[in-house]
Amino acid sequence: MIVEKIDLNTVQNDFNRKMAAVKRRVIICAGTGCVANGALEVYDALAAAIAERKLDVVLELKEEKPADIYLSKSGCQGFCQAGPLVTVEPEGFLYCKVRPGDAAEIVEQTLIGGAAVQRLLYKHPVSGQAIEKQDDIPFYKRQNRYVIGDCGVLNPECIEEYISRGGYAAARKAFTQMSPEAVCEEIATSGLRGRGGGGFPTGKKWQLTLAQQNAKKYVICNGDEGDPGAFMDRSLMEGNPHRVLEGMMIAARAIGADEGYVYVRAEYPLAVQRVRKAVADAEAAGLLGDNLFGSGLSFNVIVMEGAGAFVCGEETAMIASIEGQRGMPRPKPPFPAQSGLWGKPTVINNVETLATVPLIIAQGSSIYRTMGTEGSPGTKTFALTGHVANTGLIEVPFGTTLREIIFQIGGGVTDRFGNPDPDGFKAVQIGGPSGGCLTADALDLPLDFESVKGIGAMIGSGGLVVMNQDTCIVQVARFFMQFTQNESCGKCVPCREGTKQMLALLDDIIEGNADEQTLMLLEDLAQAVQLGSLCGLGKTAPNPVLSTLRYFRDEYLAHVRQKRCPTGQCKALAQPEIIAALCKGCGACVKKCPVGAIKGEKRQPHTLDAEVCVKCGSCVQVCKFNAIVGV
Amino acid sequence: MCPDCCQTATRKFEKVCEILDKHQCDPCKLIPILQEVQKVYRYLPEEVLTYIATGLGLSPAKVYGVASFYANFSLTPKGKYVVHICDGTACHVKGSGLIKDALFKKLSLSQDKKTTEDMLFTVEAVSCLGACGLAPVLTINGKVYGQVTPAMAESLIDDIIAGEKK
């Protein structure tokens, strides 16, 4: 069957003409965060409220008909904390924490009246002033949303809209105007480095694969984003799946591949669905398949859903998983570039890397190099989470400091009740289970691949988890160790047994069964696992332990010497107590205590009987004054 | 094509046969096949694994090896409502452990016993669900609930139990 090829320019002009006929566009963020907060209900409520007022509205830009309002959904807009988010264009109003009940007011005031609904606007945390436009909000103002920007605007299920924003033009350029060598060269010159964690130069990887003489080659898009605390790839796959596909097409052109796989984590059902739809739409439009752009070349994409194994993010393990095997890594060399999927030369790139590629090809590597640092050009997305006022997905140029990210974009550290706490910063975990914990000393370090590695951590896939003073650092190290121990595939002994023993040692420290010898043993073992493991999982698994031992040794020593947890988080070490100076005698804890361990007169400081207390923690949950410690 | 085995087995595993046929009995498609079979049975019964092995021309040990390697495959039946408590970093530092403790206590479950006697609930801690901005997060049969407290989690369970009784 001959598929009728679409002309990108015609699609672009058609869509732009349809868009121009629309007076106002209402965009509801339908990223996972906002959906969980009820964004779909808000969408329905808005649609109903618009219908009730009999306004002229379209839900899909199918035919050309002038309409007053276009109601659409978008991918993740990044500011998950403030979701569900609703943007109104052309004014650029951004409404936060919108409830279905607000729909009528939005319709009345904004869609009919043209004015902003003041109460739904973002309020500046210090001045309390309402900020109308998205770009003026501190969270967005200091970012450079180069790769993820389109995610929050375009309808991810509409291929026409992607094309209207210049989509697939870079692929066309690569297939019709550039040789494979030129594509590789352009990416190599741009200095783009793999965003999955290692930071290997993408252009070099492609050149190595291009050099292989083989009629069959593969491109794999690594969407197995397993790092706890990272969701940038998810947002890209959900919010702009066509960009990822276009990146794969360019990679295929560069190395001479005709088949590609997108390997998506099963925990991301929406991403699986959106990527599948994008592939189907691109096939229907003749953008995937045979004779692409009249070049005579073909490229087909298969979407594969993962089955829940963190180690499959490692490239050789992912190849094994696609082949239907247990997802276990194998020694390198041979590298996938030489012998990958079914023994054929294979390029594996991370989602974010591939999503950056079309921008570089379209705009040229020199523009790309104007962002970031010499060794790490461009921008990086980070998932900013934990004890920070504004959690969400952010993108900044390399070279930005952690202080700018946490205090300006993130709005500062919060205490355990979620209130701002200017002195609350304790540590930030960067790079997930492979990365490390950094202290306040690292706040002014310009972030790039080398600088972070230099202080014992790594950029990794870009998870940034901020921790406040209430966080026990030994518990954090234990958390990551448990994660890697669970996910160790069991193939090599240092990782399989080493992580298990390290976890046991950390448990000893937390339970008060350790001494200083334990710390030395832990350090020795960590180094052995680092040196002896087969793949990246094992090699980097000791990083959280080593970095916390390096920067928070005093806290470890308090656990082993005085059998005391400075934050009071380790239950086995805690002596429950009520601090009389803080207790207001409200009685909330007395009511909550299941064993009657707390006693006291109303409005007088209460006392806690440590012998009776079972350390369930219920009293701490209800105490508004932080007066109970050691539970 | 279905493996040559007795008529009753073919009838019993009709849906498995359909799935095997769809993938042309290609051993490389083992993982997608297991995923689809699990959607039908909600877990992977041992006899089905053996049947798949025969159909694909693999050894039962190989199929069992793959099925037991990946966390999403379950070799034991799961409850009607599967509660996943996210234990990613962000959820962990925001207290996902307390939520798990509360639900385990409420449903008399433990680390070794994750499904209730009445087969209504399975409670599992899972690695990052990628909704870190809403931490702590739990999902019930795929529906995401954000900024969950132990009390809120318990009331979600109560609502389901109340709904089931109707």
ipTM: 0.85
Judged by CB atoms closer than 8 Å, whether chains meet at A266 and B35 is answered as yes
User: A305 — contact with chain B (CB < 8 Å)?
Assistant: yes
CB contact under 8 A, B137 and A36: yes
Question: Over 50: is that where the pLDDT of B5 sits?
Answer: no
Answer whether A153's CB lies under 8 Å from A340's CB.
Answer: no
Nearest CB partner across the interface for A321, out of B31, B145, B150: B31
Q: B93 and A476: CB-CB below 8 Å?
A: yes
Q: What is the count of residue pairs from A and B with beta carbons less than 8 Å apart? A: 135
Minimum mean pLDDT range among A251-265, A602-616, B73-87, B149-163: A602-616
- What is the distance in angstroms between the Cα of A329 and the nearest Cα belonging to chain B? 13
Instruction: Give the other-Cβ count within 10 Å of A387's Cβ.
Output: 28
Tens of pLDDT, residue by residue over A237-258, are 999 999 999 999 999 999 999 9
Which residues on chain A are in Cβ contact (under 8 Å) with B146? 33, 36-37
Distance CA B45, CA A162 (A): 44
Q: What is the pTM of this model?
A: 0.88
Phi-psi region of A97 (alpha: psi -120 to 50; beta: other; left: phi over 0): left
The tokens of A52 are what? 């009730």
A95 touches chain B (CB under 8 A): no
Quote the CA–CA distance of A158 and A285 in Å, as a whole number: 12
Contact of A11 with chain B, judged by CB distance below 8 Å, is answered with no
What pLDDT, in 10s, does the model give residues A291-303? 999 999 999 999 9
Asked if the peptide bond before residue A333 counts as cis, ω within 30 degrees of 0, the response is: yes
pLDDT level of residue A2 (50, 70, 90 thresholds): very low
Which of the four pLDDT bands, split at 50, 70 and 90, describes residue A365? very high
Q: Does A368 score more than 60 pLDDT?
A: yes
Q: What is the pLDDT of residue B6?
A: 45
Distance from CA of B119 to the nearest CA of A (A): 23
Cβ A474 vs Cβ A563: under 8 Å: no
The contacts of residue A390 (CB under 8 Å, 6+ apart) are A79, A81, A82, A139, A384, A409, A410, A411
Per the structure block, which two tokens stand in for B130?
Answer: 């990628």
Residues 201-230 in A contacting B (C-alpha not used; CB under 8 Å): 225-230
Half-sphere exposure of A561 (CA within 13 A, CB side): 7
State the Rg of chain B over Cα. Answer: 19
**Which residues in chain A have their CB less than 8 angstroms from residue B36's CB?**
none
* CA A236/CA A271 separation, integer angstroms: 9
For residue B147, give how far its alpha carbon lies from the nearest alpha carbon of chain A (Å): 9
Inform me whether the pLDDT recorded for B104 exceeds 50. Answer: yes
- Give the bridge partners for A121, in sequence order: A95
Q: What does the alpha-carbon distance between residue B16 and residue B151 come to, in Å, rounded to a whole number?
A: 41
Query: CA angle, A145 as apex, A142 and A151 as ends, to 5°?
Result: 135
Average the pLDDT over A102-128 and give the result.
89
**A134 contacts chain B (CB < 8 A):** no
Residues A261/A346, Cβ–Cβ less than 8 Å: no
**Interface membership of A302 toward B (CB under 8 Å):** no
Q: Please name the amino acid found at residue A577.
A: E
- Alpha helix stretches (DSSP H) within A315-411: 315-322, 351-363, 365-369, 402-403
Residues of B in contact with A321 (CB under 8 A): 31
Pure H helices in A370-492: 402-403, 449-454, 473-487
Q: B45: helix, coil or strand?
A: coil
> Which residues are bridge partners to A392 per DSSP?
A384
Interface mutation vs chain A, best among B37, B84, B93, B129, most A CBs within 10 Å: B93
Of residues B32, B35, B145, nearest to A36 (C-beta): B145
pLDDT, chain B, mean: 88
Residue of chain A with shortest Cα separation from B33: A324
d(CA A75, CA A393): 12
Q: Cα dihedral sign for A476, A482, A488, A494?
A: positive
